[in-house]
Amino acid sequence: MKVAVVGTGYVGLATGISLAYLGHKVTCIDIAVDKIESLRQGKLPIFEPGLEELFLKAKQNLHFTTSFTQGLEQSNVIFLAVGTPANSDGSSNLTYLFSAVDETIAYLSYHKWPTVLVNKSTAPVGTSDLIVERVEAACIQHVVTVASNPEFLSQGKVVNDTLYPERIVIGGDDRAIRVLQELYSPIISQSFASPEQTPRPKHLKGVPIISVDTRSAELAKYAANAFLAMKISFINEIANLCDLVGADVTKVAAVIGKDSRIGSSFLQAGIGYGGSCFPKDTLALQFISNTIGYDFKLLSSVISVNNSQKFIIIEKLREELGPLYGKKIAVLGLTFKPGTDDIREAPSIPIIHSLLSGGAEVYVHDPVALDKARASLPSTVHFMNQLSDALIDADGALLITEWPEYLEIDAEYLSSVMRRPLFIDGRNAMDTSSWRGIIEYRGVGISNNEN
Ligand code: UGA
């Protein structure tokens, strides 16, 4: 089929490149001239395991353009995958989305080619209906069918999540479902040769399609992210309780996670969730609820727990070191999670600001995000290319992102280079079985009670 994808962020690129890999003819459209130029030269603007391989293999089916006229020509399916960032009141900024919609409708009003206009951007409930209104206003509803097809990609796993999703959700009418079913048929039946770097999970034989109305599809996206955020805030509250009652949250999570009704994922306690999705989407869902007069109390608590959770490790640092003025603190990791260079809404940023306001000397290290972070942090922060330079003579180290290289840090090494071998693990990620007596270790909700 012929496919156009508007927006070349994580979702747009993963969708476009994967569909081209599966044999469709894909044109990716973006208004950012530099981005399109570098994509044409074969350079990916994002760091994603396995995407380069797919990109190389799909090259002959992929085109990049800044022109809607060129990109939309004769497309059977047009995906909208542009950013919907948060406004200061928590609502979603739909400027980019509707500008893409208007450009698309302007083109289709003239060419009247039958197509399915599919929104993949996370957008408030009712957005598809607003797109339908514009399609009707342009009198092209007989050729253009509107659908909602939310994505559930995790950064660092976008190739896996695109080729081997747990479900494909389609909100729309019979025609939209039929066309998208055909488009996704290699994924639905898992009938394609899997790329070397992203092999098919052994158990996967096929992928279910869930077809619903557009409003349910739109709300399901927010509900999924809010539910996962709720699991994280829940386990973080249990962790805080563990600290007070002398229990260990990793053991509590292991016990409750074995219950298949609860599930073991997203029960990793620590400094809370960040990134470009959970913080934005929970606020947007809260905004949607408030706008219609519904007080979503549980969601408000999820957000408020997450806002305060990141500062728990600074309290722990103060409990051990007293005032932070003049103390050298090593901050390990800046990105919101490992496997990405994204620092959007990363807990590291407010944590570093708080350390600085306490007068600490802050030395940061990250394997991939130092350059990106320079723009978001004050010039008083020391950016260290070598992990050892951040740790030498430090009065304490904070683990913010569980990058694999940090998990291998040796206790003897830490104790030999740090002024005080105090290690506060904001992700409960370190294996500390051989650390006792060498390092002063504190996790989040991990008591030192051995009984
Ligand atoms: C999230 C969802 O997992 C995807 O399903 C969704 O499609 C995506 O948002 C989106 O809306 O586009 P992502 O933001 O890439 O994906 O990252 P996650 O792996 O979900 O992690 C989010 C944050 O939660 C990270 O800061 C991570 O450190 C934190 N987290 C995660 C925890 O603190 N504990 C956990 O147990 C799991």
> Given a cut of 90, is residue 161 above it in pLDDT?
yes
Is the predicted pLDDT of residue 232 greater than 50, yes or no?
Answer: yes
Amino acid 330: pLDDT:
98
pLDDT at 399 > cutoff 70? yes
Q: Is there a domain that residue 447 lies in?
A: no
pLDDT tens, 410-426? 999 999 999 999 999 99
**Statement to judge: residues 31 and 42 lie in one domain:** yes
Could you tell me if 62 and 191 lie in one domain? yes
The catalytic site residues sit at: 277
The candidate with the shortest Cα–Cα distance to 193, out of 58, 25, 43, is 58
**What range does the domain containing 198 cover?**
2-212
Instruction: Kindly report each contact of residues 181-187 with a partner whose C-beta sits within 8 Å and lies 24 or more positions away, as own/partner.
Output: 181/209, 182/1, 183/1, 183/3, 183/19, 183/24, 183/76, 183/77, 184/209, 186/22, 186/23, 187/22, 187/163
Give, to the nearest 10 degrees, the angle between helix 51-58 and helix 10-21.
Answer: 50
Q: How confident is the model at residue 447 (pLDDT cuts 50, 70, 90)?
A: confident
Q: Say what the pTM is.
A: 0.95
Cα–ligand 1 centroid distance for 260 (angstroms): 20
CA distance 60 to 54: 11
pLDDT, residue 46, reads 86
Q: How many residues would you count in the chain? A: 451
One domain, residues 70 and 202: yes
pLDDT value at residue 112: 86
Q: Are 69 and 200 found together in one domain?
A: yes
Cα-to-centroid distance, 249 and ligand 1 (Å): 20
Give yes or no: residues 120 and 202 share one domain.
yes
The domain boundary, picked from 276, 308, 340, lies at 308
What is the CB neighbour count within 10 angstroms for residue 287? 16
Examine the fold and report which residue of 264, 290, 308 is the final residue of a domain before the chain moves on.
308
Residue 225 covered by a domain: yes
How far is residue 373's CA from residue 407's CA, in Å, rounded to a whole number?
22
Residues 382 and 253 in one domain: no
82/180 same-domain check: yes
Here the CATH number for the domain that contains residue 156 is: 3.40.50.720
The whole-angstrom separation of Cα 392 and Cα 426 is 20
Take atom 2 of ligand 1 and give the residue whose Cα is closest. Answer: 154
Q: Tens digits of per-residue pLDDT, 308-347?
A: 999 999 999 999 999 999 999 999 999 999 988 899 999 9
Task: Provide the domain count of the chain.
Answer: 3
Query: What is the Cα–Cα distance from 179 to 168, expressed in whole angstroms?
Result: 13
Do 292 and 342 lie in one domain? The reply is no
Q: Is 175 annotated as a binding residue?
A: no
In angstroms, what is the span from residue 296 Cα to ligand 1's centroid? Answer: 21
Tens-digit pLDDT profile for residues 266-303: 999 999 999 999 999 999 999 999 999 999 999 999 99
Pocket around ligand 1: residues whose beta carbon is below 6 Å from it? 122, 151-155, 225, 228, 232, 266-268, 270, 272-275, 277-278, 281, 336-337
Residue 244 pLDDT exceeds 50: yes
**Contact by Cβ (8 Å): 199, 193:** no
> 291, 308, 325: which is the final residue of a domain?
308
25 among annotated binding-site residues: no
From the alpha carbon of 347, which atom of ligand 1 is closest? 26
Going by alpha carbons, the residue nearest to atom 10 of ligand 1 is 277
